[in-house]
Amino acid sequence: MGRPRKIVESSEPKLEVIPKVEEAISSLEHAEPSNSPEKKLFNVDEAADYMSVSAETIRLWIDHGHLITQLAGGIRKIPLESMVRCRVKIRRF
């Protein structure tokens, strides 16, 4: 097995995601109407179109906690903010 590895903490600053998310949401809200969606809640198919992925990918992201949903009229809806947060997470990797 060998010697146990010594864990060394990095002195580099950690990335903060929240300011980037807030900036992205703010830019969407202040964008021209033709560039930003007017809707705040999307169904799975609309979210898939908006994020350029399949509906199955959206369902997997929901199941794994990457996207948060709300029930609206018995239908699972995805808030725009949740999609922006997910998109920011995806860009980090």
**What CATH class is the domain 38-92?**
mainly alpha
Q: Provide the 10 A C-beta neighbour count for residue 62.
A: 18
Contact 51, 90 (CB under 8 A): no
Q: What is the pLDDT of residues 25-62, one digit of tens each?
A: 666 555 544 444 567 899 999 999 999 999 999 999 99
Q: Read off the pTM.
A: 0.58
Q: Where along the chain do its domains lie?
A: 38-92
Structure tokens at 27: 């830019």
Average pLDDT across the chain, whole number: 76
